[in-house]
């Protein structure tokens, strides 16, 4: 496949452009028998939606999802599920300039070269953060599938904006509070400081990056495939599909590189008749396989590339240095909108592995006949 598909058994194909007609996703391989309608997807899309708060872009999109196929009488059928949202409020006028003047930090220049000028450059086209709406569609289905079959839960939240770092987050707190504020940071004190710095940076015409943490609980032992399809391999591949992500670490990560084996090894023990480890420096993954402990990762986002300051770039026709003022509506910091995107794409990967390992079969048997009158 050429690059728009991820997953083998829960295969997700993303299509659409930022300023084209729509943004959509087709899932091939979702098991039959999952109760599903637009109401399962819309709330997650709403969490990512632009224009929700003063800290995000003012582009107004209803982003109402439509399921076009693969669902019949309220249940998935096993056929591909095509979902999309229509683009309504795209304003492409401000993008004419970037045809010849690539914006620093954006894909404009390599995309122009790669496609000999044929790529849709408006709003970043195929490279826009708007495409992550399609990740949400896949992720909403994956999350419902994982939770209803295996009890797997995936929780992502902001832990850092610029240099403001949250205190360590407790999972219960994270689940409860991550969507309680527009920063998506369960440390409410830190969240206030983060909002403040975002607004101030916005006033300065500048932008910020940050870090998102993600925890997955409920995985059975043994998800992942040795060598080239380890959980870390496939999760990182998916996470780096999110624009602006430049770093990822699992468990103790880079900090673990400074430790000794005797400090970093997680010792096995028994708790409630279950094999667990006393610490979780491995982030729930040993040898690329889930070990039953929570998967834990931290994801680094660069500061948003679109800033309202004059920057220097080059003019592609004259090959001379020129100034550019990036127009268009954009976020001063994309991190607050990222947690549902992270949850989604991680869910899609785990759903894929759960199907590959046989923990979820091609037809769900969990729904009683009462729930599904067709059986």
**Residue reference for tokens 């009158």:** 373
CB of 94 to a second copy, least distance (A): 17
Which of 177, 290 has the CB closer to a second copy?
290
Site for a second copy in 294-353 (CB under 8 A): 300-307, 309, 311-314, 316, 319-321
Which of 44, 119 has the CB closer to a second copy?
119
CA distance linking residue 156 with residue 340, whole number of Å? 7
CB of 64 to a second copy, least distance (A): 15
**Cβ atoms within 10 A of the Cβ of 322, count?**
13
Beta bridge partner(s), residue 24: 15, 84
Which of 175, 300 has the CB closer to a second copy?
300
Determine contact, residues 25/83, Cβ cutoff 8 Å. yes
Q: Does 3 bind a second copy (CB under 8 A)?
A: yes
Q: Does 370 bind a second copy (CB under 8 A)?
A: no
Q: If we measure between CA atoms, which residue out of 77, 75, 123, 116 comes closest to residue 97?
A: 123
Determine contact, residues 360/149, Cβ cutoff 8 Å. yes
Site for a second copy in 163-192 (CB under 8 A): 163
Site for a second copy in 192-251 (CB under 8 A): 201, 206-211, 221-222, 224-230, 232-234, 236-238, 240-241, 243, 245-251
Site for a second copy in 47-66 (CB under 8 A): none
Site for a second copy in 85-144 (CB under 8 A): 99, 102, 104-107, 109-111, 113-120, 124-127, 131
CB of 353 to a second copy, least distance (A): 10
Which of 77, 175 has the CB closer to a second copy?
77
Alpha helices for 49-187 (secondary structure H): 108-114, 132-150, 171-177
Q: Does 43 bind a second copy (CB under 8 A)?
A: no
CA distance linking residue 326 with residue 335, whole number of Å? 20
CA distance linking residue 182 with residue 337, whole number of Å? 8
Per CB under 8 A, the list member of 48, 65, 70, 195 interacting with a second copy is 70
Q: If we measure between CA atoms, which residue out of 57, 3, 12, 99 comes closest to residue 355?
A: 12
* CB burial of residue 229 (10 Å; 0-12, 13-18, 19+): middle
Spatial neighbors of 71 by CB under 8 A, at least 6 apart, are 36, 37, 77, 81
Which of 175, 248 has the CB closer to a second copy?
248
CB of 252 to a second copy, least distance (A): 7
CA distance linking residue 245 with residue 229, whole number of Å? 21
Which of 175, 357 has the CB closer to a second copy?
357
Per CB under 8 A, the list member of 41, 47, 82, 154 interacting with a second copy is 82
């Amino acid at each position: 496949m050429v690059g728009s598909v991820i997953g083998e058994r829960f295969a997700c194909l993303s299509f659409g452009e930022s300023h084209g007609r729509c943004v959509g996703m087709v899932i091939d391989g979702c098991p039959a028998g999952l109760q599903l309608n637009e109401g399962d997807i819309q709330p997650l899309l709403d969490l990512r939606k632009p224009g929700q708060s003063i800290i995000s872009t003012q582009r107004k999109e209803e982003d109402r999802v439509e399921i076009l196929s693969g669902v019949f009488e309220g249940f998935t059928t096993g056929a591909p599920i095509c979902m999309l949202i229509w683009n309504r409020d795209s304003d492409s006028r401000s993008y004419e300039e970037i045809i010849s003047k690539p914006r620093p930090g954006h894909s404009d220049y390599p995309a122009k070269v790669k496609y000999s000028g044929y790529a849709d450059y408006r709003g970043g086209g195929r490279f826009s953060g708007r495409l992550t709406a399609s990740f949400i569609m896949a992720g909403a289905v994956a999350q419902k599938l994982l939770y209803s079959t295996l009890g797997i839960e995936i929780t992502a939240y902001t832990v850092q904006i610029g240099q403001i770092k949250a205190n360590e987050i407790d999972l219960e707190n994270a689940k409860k509070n991550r969507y309680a504020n527009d920063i998506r940071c369960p440390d409410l004190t830190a969240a206030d400081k983060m909002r403040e710095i975002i607004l101030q940076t916005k006033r300065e015409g500048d932008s910020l990056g940050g870090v998102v943490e993600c925890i997955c609980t409920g995985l059975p032992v043994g998800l992942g495939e040795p060598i080239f399809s380890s959980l870390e391999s496939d999760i990182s591949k998916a996470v780096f599909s999110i624009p602006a992500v430049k770093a990822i670490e699992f468990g103790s990560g880079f900090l673990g590189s400074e430790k000794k084996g005797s400090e970093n090894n997680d010792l096995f023990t028994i708790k409630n008749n279950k094999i667990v480890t006393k610490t979780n420096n491995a982030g729930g993954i040993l040898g690329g396989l889930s070990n039953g402990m929570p998967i834990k990762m931290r994801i680094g986002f660069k500061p948003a590339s679109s800033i309202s300051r004059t920057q220097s770039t080059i003019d592609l026709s004259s090959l001379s240095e020129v100034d550019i003022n990036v127009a268009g509506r954009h976020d001063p910091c994309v991190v607050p909108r990222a947690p549902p995107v992270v949850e989604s794409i991680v869910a899609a990967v785990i759903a894929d592995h759960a199907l590959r390992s046989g923990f979820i079969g091609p037809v769900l048997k969990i729904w009683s006949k009462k729930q599904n009158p067709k059986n």
